[in-house]
Amino acid sequence: MTQGFYTGVSGIKSYQTAIDVTSNNLANVNTVGFRANTTEFSSLYEDTLSMTHANASHNREDLGLGIRVSTVSMNQEHGSLMNTDLSTDLAIQDDGWFGVTGMNSDEVLYTRAGDFTFDVNNDLVTPDGFHVLGTMGNNIQGENLVQKIAEVPLGEVGSQEPLNFPKNLVYPPEATSTAKMIGNIGIEDEVRTLGAGVIDSNGTRNELKLEFTKLDEQTPPGSQWSVTATIKSLDEQTTYDSQTYVVEFNEDGSLKTPNPFDNTTLNNNGSPVKVDLGGGYDGVVSIANFDITSSSIADGTIGGDLVGYEINQNAEVIATFTNGQQSSVGKIGVFHFQNDQGLERITGTRFKESSDSGDAIFFQDANGQNVIGTRISNYQLENANVKMEVALTDLIIMQRAFDSNSKLITTADQMMQKALNMDA
C-alpha cells in the first residue's frame, strides 16, 4: 500500500511539471521566435515480485515504481511566418540561428527572433538592446563609402562582431572615364548630334556633345564626316573642351577603324574622358533607309548622401543613396550546430551553446567560402512554434492524469486507514 503513495506522488510531481511546461508554451503563443518545450516521461525502476508457485521460473511479474520527467526537450519545428513593414525584420526559413550579444558581454546567445532595428547609434540591435553579430564590409572610412560591394564575404565564426554603421554616409562621386556612342546618323547631308552626360571629379554632371557634319568633298566608297566633340556645363556657360576630327564610314555604313577618337581624350573639367565610337556595326553607323537613332552609355556617377539601411534576403545590410546607388556594408551571420537539441535554454527565445550542442559553425559552399546556409525572409518574422490546439489537448490529458494520480493517493490512504483499523 505504501508503494501506492510513492507511485501517486511521482505521477503528481511529473504531471505538474508537464502542466507548467505546457502552460508556459501557451503563454508564449504570440512571442516572436519562441521555441516550445516538450515534456518527455520515463518509467522508474521496477521491482520483480518473488513467485512461489511451480511456474515461477516461467512467469515474471514486475511492479512499476511510478514515472519521472526524463527531459524537457526543445520543439524544433518551424513557426509560421507573419508579414511586417520593416526590412530589418528577418525570419530564418530553414535551420540556423542569429547570434546576439550584450554590450558589455562576450557571451554569444542564439535566437530565431529576427525583430531587429537600428538604435540611436545605428547599431543593429534587438528590442532589448542586444547587438546582432555579423561581418562588416570594411568599405566605410569615417562617413565615406570607399568601395561599392555587391556582397560582403562572411567571415569566420570567431570574427563575428556587433554591426554598427554611421548615421551619415556619403557615396563619393566617380568621374566618367569612357562614354560610348551608339546610333545611326544616316547618309543625308544634315547635322547629326549624339550626346551623353559625363561626370567630372567634383561629382558635377556635364554634357558631352558630338556633332556630325558630312564633308563637302567625299571620297567613295564610303563617306567622310567631320565630328566636333564638345564638353560644356549643363547651363552651357562654360566650355571645358572642344576638338574636331574626321571619321570615315565604309561602303556598308560601318565605322572604319581605327578612328581619331581611339587615341585621344577630352578634358571634362580636369577629368579625362575617352569617346568610344565603337567599331563595325557596334557603335555609330551611317546606313541609309534605317531610322536615325542615338544613345549613349557612360560610366561614372554623381555623389550621393545616405537614404537609409535595409537588409535583403541574403542577410546583406544594404546602404541606399540619393544618387540611386546601393552598396552592401555588412552581412548578418547565421550560425549552425551539430545538435540543436543540445543548446542550453536561457529564455524562451535565446539559447547558448553547450557541450551537447557542439560549437557554432558556418556552412561552406563548394569553394570553401562561408555562407549563411539557409533562406532568409525580410519583412517577415517567425511566430512561436506552439500549436495551440495540440497544447490545449495535452493540457486536458495531463490534467486528467494529475487527477488520476491524486485519486491514487486518496485510495492508498483509505486502504491504509482500513488496514490500521482492523481488529486483531
pLDDT digits (tens, 9 = 90+) for 256-307: 988 999 999 999 999 999 999 998 888 999 999 888 889 999 999 999 999 9
Q: Is the pLDDT of residue 328 over 80?
A: yes
Q: How many CB atoms lie within 10 A of CB 134?
A: 26
Instruction: Please determine, for residue 56, whether its predicted confidence score (pLDDT) is greater than 80.
Output: no
Per the CB < 8 A criterion, the answer to whether 185 and 210 are in contact is: no
CATH of region 178-298: 2.60.98
The answer, yes or no, to whether residue 422 has pLDDT greater than 70, is: yes
Grid coordinates of 293: 537613332
CA gap 176, 264 in Å, rounded: 15
* pLDDT greater than 70 at residue 55: no
d(CA 81, CA 33): 10
* pTM for the structure as a whole: 0.76
For residues 384-389, give the mean pLDDT. 91
C-alpha cell at 89: 525584420
CA-CA distance, 334 to 133, in Å (whole number)? 9
Q: Give residue 12's pLDDT.
A: 84
Percent of the chain with pLDDT over 90: 70
Q: How confident is the model at residue 61 (pLDDT cuts 50, 70, 90)?
A: low
DSSP code of residue 75: P
C-alpha cell recorded at residue 16? 505538474
Burial of 85-124, coded b for 16+ CB within 10 Å and e otherwise, reads: eebbbbbbeeebbbbbbeeeeeebbbbbbbbbebeeebbb
> Taking the domains of the chain in order of start, what are their residue ranges?
2-76+384-420, 94-171+322-381, 178-298
pLDDT for residue 45: 66
> What number is the average pLDDT over the span 196-224?
93
Q: Which of 62-76, 99-113, 341-355 has the highest mean pLDDT?
A: 341-355
- pLDDT above 60: residue 394: yes
User: Which residue do the cell numbers 558581454 mark?
Assistant: 105
Does residue 64 carry a pLDDT above 90?
no
Q: For helices 2-27 and 388-420, give the axis angle rounded to 10 degrees.
A: 160
Phi, psi dihedral angles at 156 (to 5 degrees): -75, 160
Three-class secondary structure of residue 388 per DSSP:
helix
